[in-house]
């Protein structure tokens, strides 16, 4: 099971979370990654934790003010990137471009989508993984695996129907080890979460709780 912690733009200490994630991953043997803001990528990567960007743009070098280049993200130490998070939506053509740009830079990709139909569409673009995240559950106290387990199972089936090699992650409302275990039982091979760790008073304790059943 892969645990990907998105720090969004929360007022947390990215180094504290990254260090905790690194240590918990080392001690448990569970794969844990942290996705900080772009400005913090290098500092987070220097802790030794697996580091992911929150977004990359589809363009390469050129007159693209404000864009986040996949190559620059990789140079900063990132090993992967989210694409099309619910809070950073892209058109399908731009998702495709971002996935291809990330692949050229050697970055692993996880494309987010709202529902199983969208999961099938983005799985066809060749990402390494997809994450099903109903927007209404993001940041809430109830995980998608509990509130709507069928959407996770359907997302797994939708991705498999397109490409068996695309991993399916479960996002939205994940906050406990029970949520992680349930996601795995439904066929997900990873989880994507944010506030459950980024807003925790003790990020290490929150991470330890997540990996405890694994």
Lookup result for tokens 């733009």:
9
Lookup result for tokens 């994507």:
192
d(CA 167, CA 187): 10
Q: Residue 45: which of 12, 3, 80 has the closest Cα? A: 80
Q: Residue 129: which of 110, 113, 115, 116 has the closest Cα? A: 110
CA–chain centroid gap for 93, Å, is: 20
Tokens standing for 98?
A: 């971002």
133: annotated active-site residue = yes
d(CA 169, CA 51): 17
Q: Considering 50, 55, 108, 133, which one is annotated as catalytic?
A: 133
85: annotated active-site residue = yes
Nearest 5°: phi and psi at 52?
-125, 145
**Coil/strand/helix, residue 37:** coil
Lookup result for tokens 């406990």:
176
Q: Considering 50, 55, 85, 108, which one is annotated as catalytic?
A: 85
**Which active-site residues does the annotation give?**
85, 133
């Amino acid at each position: 099971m892969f645990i990907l912690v998105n720090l969004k733009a929360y007022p947390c200490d990215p180094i504290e979370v990254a260090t905790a994630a690194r240590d918990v991953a080392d001690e448990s043997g569970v794969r844990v990654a942290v996705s900080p803001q772009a400005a913090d990528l290098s500092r987070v990567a220097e802790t030794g934790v697996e580091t992911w960007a929150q977004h990359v743009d589809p363009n390469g070098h050129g007159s693209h003010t404000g864009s986040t280049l996949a190559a620059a993200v990789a140079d900063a130490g990132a090993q992967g990137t989210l694409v099309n998070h619910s809070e950073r939506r892209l058109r399908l053509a731009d998702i495709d471009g971002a996935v291809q740009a990330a692949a050229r830079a050697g970055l692993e990709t996880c494309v987010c989508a709202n529902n199983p139909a969208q999961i099938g569409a983005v799985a066809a673009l060749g990402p390494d993984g997809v994450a099903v995240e109903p927007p209404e559950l993001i940041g809430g106290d109830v995980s998608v695996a509990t509130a709507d387990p069928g959407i996770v199972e359907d997302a797994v089936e939708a991705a498999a129907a397109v490409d068996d090699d695309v991993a399916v992650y479960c996002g939205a409302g994940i906050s406990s080890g029970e949520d992680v275990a349930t996601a795995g039982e439904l066929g997900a091979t990873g989880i994507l979460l944010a506030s459950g760790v980024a807003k925790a008073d003790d990020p290490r304790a929150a991470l330890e709780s997540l990996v405890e059943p694994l």
